A and B are shown apart, each in its own frame.
Chain A
Amino acid sequence: SQKIEQNSEALNIQEGKTATLTCNYTNYSPAYLQWYRQDPGRGPVFLLLIRENEKEKRKERLKVTFDTTLKQSLFHITASQPADSATYLCALGNYGQNFVFGPGTRLSVLP
């Protein structure tokens, strides 16, 4: 069965550093991979989408990579700020199929 893992349940980093979150999957070949941010008491909010034929996507301080050979996506936040503290979810999807979400990583950026 499909399995999605995100590197750790929680990640603490110092303000100004680059946060790197990982999303690994098995028994799946997604055509799309998305990253969402979820704040406490709120629904997930879309951040970035990357397709299987794309290696890297950037948006402001965010960067996502997608390695279909390693079955892994990396999500980077550069120059991290305390306001970046949240839970980050990866989601895998395919043509005409519903998403499967990972368990999430709770990021804390310490001032």
Chain B
Amino acid sequence: DTAVSQTPKYLVTQMGNDKSIKCEQNLGHDTMYWYKQDSKKFLKIMFSYNNKELIINETVPNRFSPKSPDKAHLNLHINSLELGDSAVYFCASSQDGGGRNIQYFGAGTRLSVL
């Protein structure tokens, strides 16, 4: 069983569209994350979320919003997609927040905005 799974693996869409990426973890972790990895391979955190707190990286446009229906899921909604949103998006989870916790990553979703 895949510990952290995200769908779809590839997403190709037009500028201005709205899209969602789904993420599920079966590890029983309390904290989930979304990261963006751009063409230069820099991995930057976008959000971290547990059932108590959402921490947003202040550089993330408000067109991006995380939605968590329950502890095992953290979906990413993106409105009005722009060319610069093209990247690989990774979902991850950890036992709880903070730097001492190992993070488990999904396989990534490659988003291409045309």
**A residues touching B (Cβ–Cβ < 8 Å)?**
30-32, 34, 36, 41-46, 49, 51, 87, 89, 91-101, 103-104
Contacts and interface: CB of A to CB of B under 8 A. Distances in A.
A42 B43 CA distance: 13
Contacts of A43: 4, 90, 92, 105-108
Given A31-B100, A104-B41, 17 more contacts: A32-B100, A34-B99, A36-B103, A41-B107, A42-B108, A43-B4, A43-B105, A45-B105, A46-B104, A49-B102, A89-B43, A93-B98, A97-B98, A100-B45, A101-B43, A103-B41, A104-B43
**B interface, size bucket:** 20 to 34
Contacts of B42: 101, 103
A99 B102 CA distance: 10
Contact of A94 (B4, B99, B104, B105): B99
B105 A98 contact: no
A103 B106 contact: no
Interface of B: 4, 33, 35, 40-45, 48, 55, 90, 92, 97-108
Residue of A31, A32, A101, A104 with highest tally of chain B CB at under 10 A = A101
A42 B100 contact: no
A98 B41 contact: no
Contacts of B108: 41-43
